[in-house]
């Protein structure tokens, strides 16, 4: 039985890879995302210079063979800071999306499979969180507790929970009266088994697509908070702080702000292309139109 499930899993994974390779945009997105994750994980070993090391005599140098993206006002190598900034982006994106998805799945399935009272209470919780503008809520929390990476992760995760919870709730409501669910209940299956074995696998596909689409939003929000000085603390490199450094010197040294903006654009395009390709794989109707 286990071998059959493993074979099925390998077959589904191979089908996803097959469709990604056939789709030019999906393949491009996969390459960009893979490169982003690789740089973030191995930044310590591939950065050409110390990203926080000061070298005043080489300050504000333009792009050259020694410094491909130039240096900033403190002589720090911009390329090295961009590479290390990818680690901050990944450290924010993974726990934020993972935590929001985990809590959203739990609350969404409870709301969709529970009583009307429980459903209304959870939906009210979702509406309450979403009633606050995300940026304003983030600024308020950061102003109260102070800027830090943990604060940024917590704020973005909390504001992302309703997105995943609503999707799971809708999927659960549409499946709870399906014939195979009714058959399981008539056989005496527990609620935990129904939710974990039958409901959860059917909601993971749309959630994976949604997560791929949300990662650029999370990274952009972290960069925005860091640009305003309310994200990660200096001298930790962040794409937002690099943009802030370049903004004040944009007339004389435009390469700094360009270096900070390029990874944000590429990451957004990469995850968007990958999300679109995954959506086509997950939705058989869209796949059939290709």
CB of 242 within 8 A of CB of 259? yes
Please give the C-alpha separations between residue 263 and each of 93, 178, 223, 258, in angstroms, as whole numbers: 15, 45, 11, 9
Please give the C-alpha separations between residue 59 and each of 5, 36, 74, 221, 232, in angstroms, as whole numbers: 58, 27, 5, 29, 23
CB of 60 within 8 A of CB of 255? no
pLDDT digits over 81-92, tens only? Answer: 999 989 888 888
Sequence ranges of the domains in the chain: 2-289
Q: What percent of the chain has pLDDT over 70?
A: 89
Q: What is the rounded distance in angstroms from the CA atom of residue 207 to the CA atom of residue 164?
A: 7
pLDDT of res. 286? 45
pLDDT at 156 over 80: yes
- Residue that has been written with the tokens 């058959």 in this structure: 183
CB of 194 within 8 A of CB of 181? yes
Ramachandran angles phi, psi of 133, nearest 5°: -60, 135
pLDDT of res. 103? 92
Element (H, E) at 253: none
pLDDT of res. 38? 93
Residue 77 pairs in a beta bridge with: 71
pTM: 0.79
Lowest mean pLDDT among 31-40, 106-115, 133-142, 177-186: 177-186
pLDDT digits over 225-239, tens only? Answer: 888 777 777 788 888
pLDDT at 7 over 70: no
- Residue that has been written with the tokens 């929001």 in this structure: 100
Instruction: With CA atoms as reference, report the closest residue to 79 among 247, 270, 269, 258.
Output: 258
What is the CATH class of 2-289? mainly alpha
């Amino acid at each position: 039985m286990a071998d059959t499930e493993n074979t099925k899993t390998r077959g589904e994974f191979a089908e996803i890879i097959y469709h990604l390779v056939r789709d030019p945009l999906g393949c491009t997105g996969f390459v960009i995302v893979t490169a982003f994750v690789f740089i973030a994980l191995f930044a310590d070993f591939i950065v050409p210079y110390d990203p926080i090391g000061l070298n005043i005599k080489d300050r504000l140098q333009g792009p050259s063979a020694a410094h491909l993206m130039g240096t900033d006002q403190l002589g720090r190598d911009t390329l090295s800071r961009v590479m290390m900034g990818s680690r901050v982006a990944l450290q924010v994106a993974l726990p934020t999306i993972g935590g929001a998805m985990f809590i959203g799945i739990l609350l969404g399935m409870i709301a969709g499979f529970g009583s009307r009272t429980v459903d209304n209470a959870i939906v009210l919780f979702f509406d309450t969180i979403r009633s606050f503008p995300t940026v304003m809520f983030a600024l308020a929390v950061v102003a109260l507790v102070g800027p830090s990476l943990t604060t940024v992760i917590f704020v973005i995760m909390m504001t992302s929970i309703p997105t995943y919870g609503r999707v799971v709730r809708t999927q659960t409501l549409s499946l709870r009266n399906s014939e195979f669910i009714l058959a399981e209940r008539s056989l005496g299956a527990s609620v935990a088994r129904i939710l974990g074995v039958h409901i959860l696998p059917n909601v993971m596909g749309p959630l994976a697509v949604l997560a791929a689409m949300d990662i650029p939003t999370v990274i952009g929000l972290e960069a925005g908070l860091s640009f305003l000085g309310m994200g990660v603390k200096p001298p930790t490199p962040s794409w937002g702080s690099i943009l802030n450094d370049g903004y004040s010197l944009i007339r004389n040294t435009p390469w700094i702000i360009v270096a900070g903006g390029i990874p944000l654009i590429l990451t957004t395009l990469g995850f968007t292309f990958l999300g679109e390709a995954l959506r086509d794989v997950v939705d058989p109707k869209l796949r059939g139109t290709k």
